[in-house]
Amino acid sequence: MKNYNLIFALLLTALSFIQIRGQNIKYAMFNCSSEQLTNYLNSSKEYSIGKNYYSAKNTKFTIQFYNTTGIYANYKIRNYTYFTNIVSIINSYALFKFKYCSDYNSPIIYRHDTSNGNIIRYNYDELVIQIQYPSSVNSFLDSNFEFTPVFVCTSKVSYAYHTNIKCEGLQNCESQIAKSNIKEAKKYGYKICGICTSN
């Protein structure tokens, strides 16, 4: 049985590699530094350079860099199937952290962390994958993470805080739903919701 599991794992890895090679976007592009990515794109013949962006010559996606509030790269994908293939690669290699949504009208944002310290965010309503690179500005923003808005059910039996207002766990709340932040919720003994942290 162990041999079958090993063969299956190797087959999946090989298929992922073929899929990555055929897509032009490789997971390594999400896990490298912004400098390494810039150098790769400048030296590659597959991308054309514009003002603050790189475009794949096959027109499947564009990459835009932002340096205003930290260092970000947005991958704008032009095809939903291509987008979901890339998301499946992210799910295979990056560490899933939590789902985030603070408004019923907003899409749910999925957050992953790479082994290189990059943060990957995306949602299924927009075909954009955002990479946040480590920087002094982003470190300052991350240090205030405990003030991120969260939601709690005010029921006496409630024990979790939720990063996602649309969380199934909040659908069962028979009391009011209160908006708080992570620091305050922890102070009152709430723990992060298991549904919000499961992909």
Rounded-to-integer distance, Cα 93 and Cα 25, Å:
14
Residue with tokens 């919000």: 196
pLDDT at 13 over 50: no
- How far is it, in rounded angstroms, from Cα 193 to Cα 189? 12
Whether pLDDT at 14 is above 50: no
Give residue-wise pLDDT tens across range 112-145.
999 999 999 999 999 999 999 987 655 555 556 6
User: What's the sign of the alpha-carbon dihedral 91, 93, 94, 97?
Assistant: positive
pLDDT digits (tens, 9 = 90+) for 34-75: 888 888 888 888 888 887 788 887 778 888 887 666 688 999
Q: Which amino acid is at 58?
A: N
What is the C-alpha separation between 75 and 82, in angstroms, rounded? 12
Bridge-based pairing state of the strands 160-162 and 191-192 = parallel
Residue 43 neighbours by CB under 8 Å, 6+ apart = none
Which tokens hold the place of 8? 């299956």
Measured CA to CA, the distance from residue 20 to residue 194 in angstroms comes to: 31
Q: What is the pLDDT of residue 8?
A: 45
Q: Give domain limits for the chain.
A: 2-142, 146-192
Residue among 126, 28, 31 at smallest CA distance from 76: 126
